[in-house]
């Protein structure tokens, strides 16, 4: 009985973590819109190409690095064209960074899901 309880608790924790991560995906996208990220960046066809396209940024950078970059890119690259966003709440930076770290190219493109449903 104790083993079954432990397995049930473990599954509940795992499932809630997955729901939270999925929620942060849509929340991350919404925060990027709110803070104007798409004015410079393109993600899955949305936005501009002033800055790098972010479709596969998750294959290149981890969330921790992305959070440091978003907060203050000059600390990493002194001649960066990207402005610092140190005034954003740390939680919002973390959510955006986690969302971006999940972007791994075509597999994450919501437009592909729409095409497959047509």
Q: Is 12 helix (H, G, I), strand (E, B) or coil?
A: helix
| Between 93 and 12, residue with greater pLDDT | 93
| pLDDT value of position 14 | 40
User: What average pLDDT is seen over the chain?
Assistant: 81
Q: Which tokens belong to 81? A: 């064209």
Q: Which residues contact 60 (CB under 8 A, 6 or more apart)?
A: none
Look up the pTM and report it. Answer: 0.72
What would you report as the CA-atom Rg of the chain, rounded to the nearest whole angstrom? 17
What are the pLDDT digits (tens) for 41-77?
A: 999 999 999 999 999 999 999 999 999 999 999 999 9
| pLDDT value of position 106 | 74
Confidence grade of residue 109 (pLDDT, cut at 50, 70, 90) = low
| pLDDT value of position 25 | 80
Mean pLDDT of 18-43: 82
Domains identified in the chain and CATH numbers: 25-109 (1.10.760.10)
């Amino acid at each position: 009985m104790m083993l079954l309880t432990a397995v049930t608790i473990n599954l509940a924790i795992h499932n809630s973590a997955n729901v939270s991560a999925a929620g942060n995906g849509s929340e991350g996208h919404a925060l990027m819109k709110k803070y104007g990220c798409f004015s410079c960046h393109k993600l899955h066809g949305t936005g501009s190409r002033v800055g790098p396209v972010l479709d596969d940024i998750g294959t290149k950078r981890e969330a921790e690095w992305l959070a440091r970059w978003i907060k203050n890119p000059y600390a990493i690259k002194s001649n960066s064209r990207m402005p610092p966003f140190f005034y954003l709440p740390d939680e919002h930076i973390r959510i955006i960074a986690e969302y971006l770290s999940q972007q791994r190219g075509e597999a994450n493109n919501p437009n592909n899901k729409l095409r497959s449903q047509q």
